[in-house]
Amino acid sequence: MKKQGSIFVLWIGLIILLGLAGCKPQIPEGSTQKSSTGQATTEPSSKPIGKSTPANRKEEPSQVFAVNTTKAVAGELIDYIELNGDVLTKSTVDIYPDTFGKVSKLLINVGDRIEKDQVIAEIDPSRPGMIFVPSPVKSPIAGTVSNIPVYVGSTITQGMPIARITTTDNLEIRTEVAERFIGKMRVGLEVRVTFTAFPGEVFRGTVTELSPLVDPLSRTLEMKIRLNNQDPRIRPGMFAALKIITDRKWGVVKIPADALVRRFGGNFVFVVKEDPSVPTGTRAEQRQVTLGIQIDQKLEIVKGLRAGEKIVVMGQSLLENDSIVRVVGEVPPLPVTDTIQ
């Protein structure tokens, strides 16, 4: 029994020694320890040795925005308002007889051109038992016959018109402008006139008269426009589409309206700037601008942008200040000379 107990104790001691031998402290890779001589040594790292990244190497950005750009230009910009009007004669005269009787002759037809003092009809004032010489009716003005409300054999009095004469060689266009635009109206403004009867043709006119009163019911001001060159094709009663030029500026900075971004109550554009530190070489600078005339998808920039600067016109909705951009297309700039659409 004593011999077996001694063997058991020896086995326990051997196990303990083996456990202590396996508890050697681990030294981290690359760490420094003192040798038996007291000098510092470095534990070699097991990581493979590769090439280091150069300090000037461009890192790929997390997000690049593809955009189209255009240039701001300095040129002409025209502002106008659109209205509708009716072509009317400047003067219309109803012709009345001087005597009571029957219409014995009508010497005119609707559409005829007549001269001043031309005889247009004859009235027979005869009564039963009394025969009189027919009384001629003369036109007091030159013009065109627009209406004949009587016929031969009609009995008329001095208060009944025989014909209506209009001066078609002096037509005018009448229209009404809303109260909010009255401050822009004045005599002499240039007007572009078009008619559905003549598609593609533009006639020039001028504002000749402004009413001194504003209609209290419609809150509009009546105005009259005269064509610069009378055209015999234009007739009273025709519908006219008007563009009244209220302002014309030269040398203003202008851009397409699509380039504008409205955020937080402000107006912004994104100006493309060169930046060699990014792979694309360009960044977008957010620039606040002050607007002037806004017409036909064109904007006047009063402050915040210079002519010749390149701006983002497509793809700007997701941009922020200093966003990295890649220009994928160029849009032609607005023409220097402005036109009315």
Instruction: Specify the DSSP element, H or E, that contains 3.
Output: helix 2-21
Tokens (6 digits) for 205: 């006119």
Closest by CA to 106, choosing from 58, 149, 146, 64, is 149
Q: Reduced to 3 DSSP states, what percent helix, strand and coil does the chain have, rounded to the nearest 5?
A: 10, 45, 45
Complete domains list, the chain, with CATH: 65-80+250-330 (2.40.420.20), 84-89+169-249 (2.40.30.170), 93-162 (2.40.50.100)
pLDDT tens for the chain, 341 residues: list them: 445 555 655 666 666 665 555 544 444 444 444 443 333 333 444 344 434 444 444 445 468 999 999 999 999 999 999 999 999 988 889 999 988 999 999 999 998 889 999 999 999 998 888 888 899 999 998 888 989 999 999 999 989 999 999 887 788 999 999 999 999 999 999 999 999 999 999 999 999 999 999 999 999 999 999 999 988 889 888 999 999 999 999 999 999 999 999 998 899 999 999 999 989 999 999 999 999 999 999 999 999 999 999 999 999 999 999 999 999 999 999 999 998 87
Instruction: Specify the DSSP element, H or E, that contains 187.
Output: none
Q: What is the DSSP string of 43-63?
A: PPP-SPP-PPPPTTPPPPPS-
